[in-house]
Chain A
Amino acid sequence: MKETTHAIITENLTKKFGDFTAVDNISFDVKRGEIFGFLGANGAGKTTAMKMLCGLLKPTSGMGMVAGYDISKNSEKVKKSIGYMSQRFSLYQDLKVWENFRLFGGIYGLKDNEIASRTDEMLKNLGFYDERETLVQSLPAGWKQKLAFSVAILHKPSIVFLDEPTGGVDPAARRQFWELIYAAAESGITVFVTTHYMDEAEYCDRVSIMSEGKIAALDSPENLKQKFGCTTVEEVFHKLAGGVL
């Protein structure tokens, strides 16, 4: 069964807003445990596609399966099995670090002692244990993003969706962030990440490049470079999307 080997399956997934087709008949699969990069210029339909997969938007037509559940019919079950980190930072600024962990852990049905032990473990791994009593609003942006990611995988989802997780932080912080993504992938979590930093695309197992609502190419970074005769994913992207980032 494809459903057991694949975390995400879509067939002809389409989303229209009035006359405008934001996502146009896309079909792709993401294997379990894969780091899947979702590239595209602004307005190419990345966020719309991702929101459909997370159950935030209803597809106009087509089929999507996430973690074995149909996104149109079973969106609440999909939500139980995924983690999500939005483009806009959305932890609660007026809650302390541990309180954000506790809130989201509790929402996903973890028990008090589970939440406490996982929080401590994660914060220690991040080297952030001493800041657990700090209000989130007083932390630097790079740290907020690492925390948001940790909160998104606290309940050990089978898939985590990251919408431009490294927007607006410096290169050093971005590298650290990708170390977290690798660690999560090693623990068996499928990572679906959108980005417009092309160097980050090189870190993915496979990437898809979206242009005007359609998937223009989908393969591993190596194969893409070979196929299009380029040295970097960035060049491939310019050939396909033709546009500016």
Chain B
Amino acid sequence: MFKYLVEKEFKQIIRNKFLPKLIIVYPIIMMILMPHAANLDIKNIRVSVVDGANSSLSRELYRKVEASDYFSSVEVVQSYEEALQSVEKSKSDIILDIPASFEKDIVKTGKTAVYIASNSVDGMRGSVAASYLATVVHDYSRQVAQTPRAMPVVEIISRSRFNPSMDYKVFMVPALIVMLITIIGGFLPALNIVAEKEAGTIEQMNVTPVGKFLFIAAKLIPYWIIGFIILTITLVLSKLLYGIVPVGSLAMFYLLSSLFLIVVSGFGLLISNYSSTMQQAMFVMFFFLLIMILMSGLFTPIDSMPLWAKAITAINPMRYFIEIMRMVFLKGGNLYYLARPVIILCGFAVLFNTWAVVSYRKTT
């Protein structure tokens, strides 16, 4: 009995005009575009320099700024007002104001001050730009310092572990895999079931001796297989495009991904049981998808959320899987360290799927 049901699902998926294309194209587009678009690295900062001193030392300072990777353009203007106008017109992000007495002060006393003003409409970008610029100025001051007393006593050497180049893509790729699994593995089979409700074919199924468990399993299996195809596509692309491969074992990667597939498909089924039209199901799904993504630490760190928001993330299965994927990709993570999120995900899998099977009714 089961064989015939699975066969039917595969035929329907393959004959669908849109689905097979979506299954191949969607992960490819996501993998090519998203890591660049969802890039939180702050780069291409444009600087306006008010060079009041117009001396060789001040020129040396802003050439140093120009040479840094973070700053894309350095424009020298005549006055602070002019620089401010440039910021207002969004032509510049930050102002470096060098006073007229800059060179004189350095030569005479070995001490001087510059003024940095940054555009903080985007607070994050503003403060990061200011701190980059301050670092450059600081480096410069050490270089020109005449007396040893200006040398900083403590030097901080920082090293980024697990993602040594601080590459944002390494952080994004595992998160993308999570989104793809959720959409393809969780939402597509649910929409498929609601579509059968709309077409009336589910009624025909309900008068047959097909058990609800078999009917649901036959719906899920094709999408799980599709989920694995997509995982493989993303893995290959992540290696080819970004040279990113999981530090952890591939077996672990597939094993834990299938656990999450079971969680999200259970969740999708739940939605399908309580929806009678595609429109309703889609709307409910997007509602949950948005909340799940925002509350998962995918784009923003959970640690900087307020307490109440942190509490919400605790009941978000996506959060645990993102944690797992980042560990598998970046740290290698053995099961001992992953135990907690894995156990929690198992709990979600049991909860959603039991609820889904219990709430699916063959009688109306």
Contact = CB atoms under 8 A, between A and B. Distances in A.
Interface of A: 51, 54-58, 75-76, 79-80, 82, 84, 86, 88-95, 99, 102-109
A90 B202 CA distance: 8
A234 to B, nearest CB: 29
The list of the 4 closest CB pairs from A to B, nearest first, reads A106-B4, A88-B200, A90-B204, A84-B207
A94 B8 CA distance: 10
B203 A76 contact: no
Q: Which interface residue of B16, B199, B208 has the most chain A CB atoms within 10 A?
A: B208
SS class, residues of chain B in contact with chain A? helix
B297 to A, nearest CB: 40
A89 B200 contact: yes
25 contacts: A55-B362, A55-B363, A56-B362, A56-B363, A57-B363, A76-B209, A79-B208, A82-B207, A84-B207, A86-B200, A88-B203, A90-B200, A90-B203, A90-B204, A94-B11, A94-B15, A94-B16, A95-B8, A95-B12, A99-B11, A104-B208, A107-B1, A107-B4, A108-B208, A109-B1
A92 B363 CA distance: 20
Nearest to B215: A107
A128 to B, nearest CB: 20
Contacts of A75: 363
A93 B12 CA distance: 10
Nearest to A88: B200
B210 interface: yes
B1 A54 contact: no
Nearest to B200: A88
Contact of B5 (A88, A93, A107): A107
Contacts of B8: 92, 95, 99, 103
Contacts of B204: 84, 86, 90-91
A107 B4 CA distance: 7
A88 to B, nearest CB: 4
A20 to B, nearest CB: 16
A89 B201 CA distance: 8
A107 B364 contact: no
Contacts of A89: 200
Nearest to A75: B363
Contacts of A58: 363
A105 B5 CA distance: 11
Nearest to B17: A94
